[in-house]
Amino acid sequence: MKTYKIALIKGDGIGPEIIDEAVKVLDAVASCCDIEFSYEEALMGGCAYDITGDPLPQETINISLNSDAVLFGAIGGQKWDNLPREKRPESGLLRFRKELGVYANLRPATVFDELINASSLKPEVIKGVDLMVVRELIGGIYFGEPRGRDENRGWNTMVYTRDEIVRIAHQAFKIAMTRSKRVCSIDKANVLDVSQLWRDVVTEVGREYPEVELTHMYVDNAAMQLIRDPRQFDVMLTGNIFGDILSDEASMLSGSIGLLPSASIGAKIGVYEPIHGSAPDIAGQGIANPIATILSASMMLRYALGENIAADKIESAVKRALKEGYRTKDLAQYDAKEVCSTSEMGSIIANYAAK
């Protein structure tokens, strides 16, 4: 039997509740796939700041680097919003991504047929949507220097080097090869120099993947096209901030941001996390939707551990729970047969996944 070491970073708000459910589901599939998980918890975000004075203690990095993969909940909350920037939960997360070197953030957006009415868009526009945002995660304007502010001016720098663009472009083309073989690269090359380089380098890398159709789109148009006709997209390749924005937009195609997982990869150890935040307003009430985190655990099985059968089992279990009409509160108005709590949803999915 194979044992995998998983670092668990529960974080703030609903983080602990949703991670507990993902662990339940992982343990359920483990028993029937001849694998086993050992978990080690680590602190990040506001809870880490409260205990250690640092939103990202060194121990968390050590535990993560010592694991096979990191499963991460969510961080942040109003309580910590007024701290100096480097003490804020979000700074801990950005530093974490950078320290691990996870430069590629994969954010799939799919529409479950069972939830076709949950989206604010018309069913005929979103039926069958299956796209993947491949977002560069440790460069661009989030990290560029110089940055700063004084009394009257604030400044950040959007910068990409050729090497940074090359490696994220390869990720996008490789992923496209396993899907519908289409990459749409997003930029603002009509205005930004950094985007002109981005477009040129992506085009060069694209020549190594003759089977993949490469198109380019300005980010403002992409924001519109995502709502107008989202099925035109297969892989959307973006820089850091454009991907941050477009992936939130894409999540709404599916009806609830509580459904979408993500994987941050490219380094030895990957980070698997829901794309939603810590939702402090609903924390502790048992109403959060654990599905995004459960599907993140499934991405972890697939991308980090190569346990595709276990990953498939989790995905089927989620689909089955939705098909049978189980819904957490966020989706209660959409064809629900039974409204369930966070932990009931976790148990139902775990139960199906174990079969």
Positions touching ligand IPM (CB under 6 A) are: 90, 93-94, 244
Among candidate residues 12, 234, 244, 330, the one labeled active-site is: 244
Query: Closer to ligand IPM at the Cβ: 28 or 47?
Result: 47
Q: Of 288, 272, 271, 278, which is closest to residue 328 (Cα–Cα)?
A: 288
C-beta nearest to Mg ion: residue: 244
CA 194/CA 175 separation, integer angstroms: 24
Q: Are strands 261-265 and 104-110 parallel, antiparallel or unpaired?
A: antiparallel
Residue 273 interacts with Mg ion (CB under 5 A): yes or no: no
- The answer to whether 54 and 48 are in contact (CB under 8 A) is yes
Told to judge if 49 belongs to the known catalytic residues of this protein, a careful annotator would answer: no
Contacted entry of Mg ion, ligand IPM, none for residue 68, CB cut-off 5 to 8 Å set by kind: none
Query: Closer to ligand IPM at the Cβ: 85 or 153?
Result: 85
CA 220/CA 212 separation, integer angstroms: 24
Query: Closer to Mg ion at the Cβ: 68 or 244?
Result: 244
Tokens at 31, concatenated: 């028993």
Told to judge if 335 belongs to the known catalytic residues of this protein, a careful annotator would answer: no
Range in contact with Mg ion (rule: CB under 5 A) among 93-101, 133-141, 238-246, 341-349: 238-246
CB of 250 to Mg ion, least distance (A): 11
Contacted entry of ligand IPM, Mg ion, none for residue 93, CB cut-off 5 to 8 Å set by kind: ligand IPM
Write out the H or E segment, with its range, that includes residue 155: strand 154-155
Q: Of 206, 136, 143, which is closest to residue 176 (Cα–Cα)?
A: 206
SS3 assignment for 98-125: HHHCCCEEEEEEECCHHHCCCCCCCHHH
| Residue 35 φ/ψ, nearest 5 degrees | -130, 170
Q: What share of the chain is helix, strand, coil (3-state, %, to 5)?
A: 50, 20, 30
Told to judge if 326 belongs to the known catalytic residues of this protein, a careful annotator would answer: no
Contacted entry of ligand IPM, Mg ion, none for residue 249, CB cut-off 5 to 8 Å set by kind: none
Among candidate residues 188, 272, 329, 352, the one labeled active-site is: 188
Told to judge if 188 belongs to the known catalytic residues of this protein, a careful annotator would answer: yes
CA 163/CA 165 separation, integer angstroms: 5
SS3 37: strand
Q: DSSP secondary-structure letter at 217?
A: E
CB of 126 to Mg ion, least distance (A): 21
C-beta nearest to ligand IPM: residue: 90
CB of 275 to Mg ion, least distance (A): 7
Query: Closer to Mg ion at the Cβ: 63 or 131?
Result: 131
Told to judge if 281 belongs to the known catalytic residues of this protein, a careful annotator would answer: no
CB of 104 to ligand IPM, least distance (A): 13
Residue 17 interacts with Mg ion (CB under 5 A): yes or no: no
- The answer to whether 293 and 73 are in contact (CB under 8 A) is yes
CB count within 10 Å of CB 152 equals 5
Q: Of 120, 127, 118, which is closest to residue 330 (Cα–Cα)?
A: 118
Contacted entry of ligand IPM, Mg ion, none for residue 90, CB cut-off 5 to 8 Å set by kind: ligand IPM
Query: Closer to Mg ion at the Cβ: 201 or 260?
Result: 260
Query: Closer to ligand IPM at the Cβ: 16 or 92?
Result: 92
Residue 244 interacts with Mg ion (CB under 5 A): yes or no: yes
Tokens at 66, concatenated: 């010592």
CB of 225 to ligand IPM, least distance (A): 20
> Which residues of this protein are in contact with Mg ion, per CB under 5 A?
244
Report the catalytic residues.
Answer: 142, 188, 220, 244, 248
